[in-house]
Amino acid sequence: MPVAYAAFYLVLRLGGPLALRRTERKNAEVEPLDPGHRGVEVTGRRTEETAQWLVEHCDLPRVSAGGRSRLRVDAATYARVGEVAEQIDTGYTRVNGDVLVVHDLQPAAVRVHALRRRGWWRLLGDDRAEWDITDGDRTGRLVSGKAHLVSGLPVLVCFRFCAVFGGTSRWMIGFPRKPVGGSSTDERQVLTRVFPPLTASPHVVDPVEVLVPLENALVERRRRYLSLLEELAAEPDLSFRDARRAPDLALLTRVAGEVMAGSGERLCDLVDRAKEEHGLQVAIACARALARLPLGEFRSLTQRLLPIVGSRILSLQWTLTPSWTCVRCRGACRASATRADSGCCPGSRTSSRGWASSTILGSSGSSRGWPRRPVGSTR
């Protein structure tokens, strides 16, 4: 037993530094790599965290992980994407002031595969992370992690580690260890040996790759928007009470800005006509679209908008709650629908816990108590 005890201690005490030098020598043999605009794909464990770390610390214009790509772009492209995002759904998410995140399945030229490895003797302490860098037919392997070597008196330590707030409970058996000075606590720091570090003027994705699809999407969305307005104007009855199927009105509230420029008068005409023909859904959708017009055009339509804002049909659309009480129709309104205008049931009221909301040009508010009816004969 004493001989086995001493042999085990010497293996860990002498083998640890040897394993550390061997690891550092292998890491030094991996050649630096500059992917440029070819892109890097991260696979294996903790792909999203690794991809984000590479974007923040390495000069890589495109990093993919889990079907999503992080693209570093210039300031003008970043600002233009923000402008387009206010008008249509671009598919891009802006982060960090110069990075766009988009769903992308395009394969990258360089692949980084992360995996976890534990040595049998644990000469360097805890688990080690390994990174396989593949560039075409060439593959290099990096090993990272904070190294802990056996040191001090050969006193065997044995205790049970209990993870109370997360983690894994396990037995800790071995000799006292201390961390090696100079080694990084972040296991991803070793990737800077291969990829160039981030500089003040990093590489960026070609703006054409980002802006051309966006501009084409703007043109296509405006074409569909104007086509929908023409389709509604040509409809014989905007109430769609017969067997005809109503078009998809969601497009009216999914666009804004220059996509809708010049369509204010047509929207006002559709609202007025829909009210006359009892086309409630068309009137609401077009009224909400009016609120998304460019500000200058919206102000120029003041005289057309005042009757619309003061409309009983549009401004007092109540969403009924389960506690709504209809005195005159004895609950028929609550049983038949969840929406009603202020003239549906003159004797309607809410109980002490009843709520109702109204819609005015797309904005909603809440009301409690008795619904109010506008004065006069405005519609």
Tell me the pTM.
0.69
At residue 317, the pLDDT reads: 54
Residues in the chain, pLDDT under 70: 105, 118-121, 127, 181-185, 243, 311-379
| Cα–Cα distance list, 327 to 24, 30, 334, 351 (Å) | 84, 82, 11, 11
At residue 327, the pLDDT reads: 55
Q: pLDDT tens digits, residue range 8-21?
A: 888 888 888 888 88
At residue 153, the pLDDT reads: 82
At residue 356, the pLDDT reads: 41
- Strands 110-117 and 40-44 turn out to be parallel
At residue 332, the pLDDT reads: 47
